[in-house]
Amino acid sequence: MNLQLAVQREALAPVAVRRPQVITLASGKGGVGKTHLAVNLASAFAAHGKKVLLIDGDLGLANVNVLLGVSPDYNAGHLLDGSQPFERVVTRVRDTFDFLPAGSALAHLAELDLSAQVSFMEKLELQRRDYDLVLIDAGAGIGGNVRLALSMADEVLIVMNPETTSLTDAYALVKIAGRMGVKGPFQAVVNRVRLAEEAREMHASLQAASRNFLGIEVGYAGYVYRDRVVERALREQTPFIETFPDAPASRCVEALAKRLLGTAPAVVARMSAD
């Protein structure tokens, strides 16, 4: 895997002009709200004037389009087989927010082999695009397409929720990424928390295990509150940060976007004294 990563990076390097920063959102398991976070974080970045591309990395099982309320004519499969160019596959969501959709129930895209992964990266040609940020909503688990999304990342956001199974699966994901040679940086985001302290405890456990057993540091990006507006926005098929900008979950995403953009103080990942 180290060789694969090096070959992919080198293949892109000679023609690079200004490669956008790639942030991969990944989780060890499904159901942690990763796609909701990816959609709303992309919207927040766009609201800050950044030109953003959101890629649905679960290539054979589309779901980002549902949250955005769009029905694209083409998907990643058309880009991969060469039947449509990048410009026609990408869907414009907002003025500075583009979306590259996955296929719907397409088994041949569910797990790309190595040659198809390399071909997909080449056809994306991210080094030729004028985006500031590319967000990849990786599929759940540690399969081949997830590894592709990790190999492309300049930064990995590990999305968790306050459950023990989420913690163990997040650790497995960090372990796999480390074995692949992904350098990170890695940061944890704890979703659907009731108290900020829940998030700090989850991060502290993941950081301790990753540092002690893998020699990998996992930073603390922050948390998102459990909030009813998430389901309401899903029914309306719009990002909740746009529909309910003052909701607790929206304020959390906005704070996370500012930290990732370097316009807000870093989160101090320590246990409270009380």
Any idea what the CATH number is for the domain that residue 56 is in? 3.40.50.300
Kindly state whether residue 206 falls inside one of the protein's structural domains. yes
Parent domain of 161: 2-261
Instruction: Among 103-112, 165-174, 253-262, name the one with the lowest average pLDDT.
Output: 103-112
The 3-state DSSP class for residue 218 equals strand
Kindly state whether residue 267 falls inside one of the protein's structural domains. no
59 vs 246: CA distance, rounded Å? 33
Q: Is the pLDDT of residue 1 over 50?
A: no
Kindly state whether residue 268 falls inside one of the protein's structural domains. no
Give how many domains the chain has, as a whole number: 1
Kindly state whether residue 273 falls inside one of the protein's structural domains. no
- What confidence category does residue 60 fall into, taking pLDDT thresholds of 50, 70 and 90? confident
Kindly state whether residue 274 falls inside one of the protein's structural domains. no
Average pLDDT over residues 127-148: 89
Share of the chain above pLDDT 70, in %: 88
Instruction: Among 90-94, 176-180, 186-190, 264-268, name the one with the lowest average pLDDT.
Output: 264-268
Q: Is the pLDDT of residue 78 over 50?
A: yes
231 vs 223: CA distance, rounded Å? 18
